[in-house]
Amino acid sequence: MLTRLVGRLDAIEGSAAVVTPPPGGMSYQVMLPAYLVEQLAERVGQPVTLHTRQYLEAQGQGSSFVPRLVGFASVEDRRFFELFTTVKGLGARRALRAMAQPPAMIAAAIAARDTQALQQLPEIGKRLAETIVAELDGKVSSYLADGIGHAEVKPTSPRAASAREAVATLVALGETQGDAQRKVDTALSRDADLATTEQIVASAFGG
């Protein structure tokens, strides 16, 4: 099983990345969770590392199967996806579209039993939100970043939105979710004038 893919990001095509490992000549199409698509769109032409998972997608009402490759910014995010898709009604494609927020944010909503926050995610209605909480309650503690509470799952201000994007950017650059959150929190507490994602990321790296 292919569990990690390192190469040049050649393109973002819809909700998938095209990655070419060295020395070239063979490219992989890798499906991405929604939260990662926009981040990687800014890195086309650059090297990337994706932690991957393979599965078979049924075609023609199960008469045939197509191999698919899904990629994540970290091993922790991949593990969350594997847990997320154990929920009845959440297949791989639906789960990827629903993951419009980083896993730590979704895990925070689950831990808080905040079905209203979960319903803000694409593909998640009231009944499915309740099912997610019922099936995953008590199973997501390892995905919670320090300092994240359920109130942060939904945007509250432009600065808060920039902070979330900065965390996701740092994760895409190789930080763990917890380390990325701590660096962003430190940067924000150090400089109250930080407002944009770029400023927060630069300050977090400088710290």
Tell whether 161 and 191 lie within a shared domain: yes
Tell whether 162 and 147 lie within a shared domain: no
The list of the chain residues with pLDDT below 70 reads 60-62, 145-157, 177, 207
Tell whether 100 and 46 lie within a shared domain: no
Tell whether 117 and 96 lie within a shared domain: yes
Tell whether 82 and 110 lie within a shared domain: yes
Q: Say which DSSP state 154 is in.
A: S
Look at the pTM and tell me if it is higher than 0.75.
no
Structure tokens at 176: 């763990």
137 lies in which domain range?
75-154
The residues pairing with 2 across neighbouring beta strands, listed in sequence order, are none
Strand 16-20 relative to strand 47-59: parallel, antiparallel, unpaired? Answer: unpaired
Helix 158-172 crosses helix 197-206 at what angle (to 10 degrees)?
50
Residue 92 maps to which CATH number? 1.10.150.20
Tell whether 126 and 173 lie within a shared domain: no
Structure tokens at 76: 């922790």
- Percent above pLDDT 70 for the chain: 91
How many structural domains comprise the chain?
Answer: 3
Tell whether 130 and 172 lie within a shared domain: no
Tell whether 192 and 172 lie within a shared domain: yes
Residues sharing a CB contact under 8 Å with residue 126, sequence separation 6 or more, in sequence order: 115, 119
Residue at which a domain ends, from 41, 73, 105:
73
Asked if 114 and 153 count as a contact pair (C-beta separation under 8 A), the reply is yes
The residues pairing with 67 across neighbouring beta strands, listed in sequence order, are 56
Helix (H/G/I), strand (E/B), else coil: 146: coil
Ramachandran bin of 133, using left for φ above 0, alpha for ψ from -120 to 50, beta for the remaining angles = alpha
**pLDDT tens sequence across 95-126:** 999 999 999 999 999 999 999 999 999 999 99
Residue 7 maps to which CATH number? 2.40.50.140
In whole angstroms, give the CA distance from residue 107 to residue 128.
15
Tell whether 79 and 150 lie within a shared domain: yes
Tell whether 150 and 183 lie within a shared domain: no
Structure tokens at 32: 């991405």
Q: Note the pLDDT of residue 30.
A: 95
